[in-house]
Amino acid sequence: MTNLPRTPRFDLTGSRALVTGASSGIGLGCAVALAEAGAHVVCAARRSGPLQGCVDAIASGGLSAEAMTFDQTDLDAMAEAFEAPFDVVINSAGLARHTPAVETTPADFDAVMNINLRSAYFLSASAARALQAAGRPGSIIHISSQMGHVGGVDRAVYCASKHALEGMVKAMAIEWGKSGIRINTICPTFIRTPLSQATFDDPDRLAWIMDKIKLPRVGEVEDIMGAAVFLASDASAMVTGTSMLIDGGWTAG
Task: Give 243's Cβ-side CA count (13 Å radius).
Answer: 25
Q: How far apart are CA 100 and CA 66, in angstroms?
A: 40
Would you call 158 a catalytic residue per the annotation? yes
DSSP letter string, 4-72 = ---PPP---TT-EEEEESTTSHHHHHHHHHHHHTT-EEEEEES-HHHHHHHHHHHHHTT--EEEEE--T
User: Which residue of the set 121, 162, 178, 214 is catalytic?
Assistant: 162
CA separation, residue 3 to residues 7, 79, 90, 218, 231 (Å): 13, 46, 36, 43, 27
> SS3 helix, strand, coil % of the chain, rounded to 5?
50, 15, 35
Q: For the chain, what's the residue count?
A: 253
Residues 6 or more apart whose CB falls under 8 angstroms from that of 9 comprise 233, 234, 235
H or E element: which one contains 206?
Answer: helix 203-212
- Closest Cα to residue 189, out of 217, 229, 170, 230? 217
- CA 59 to mean position of chain CA atoms: 22
C-alpha gyration radius of the chain? 18
User: Which residue of the set 121, 158, 178, 212 is catalytic?
Assistant: 158
Active site residues: 158, 162
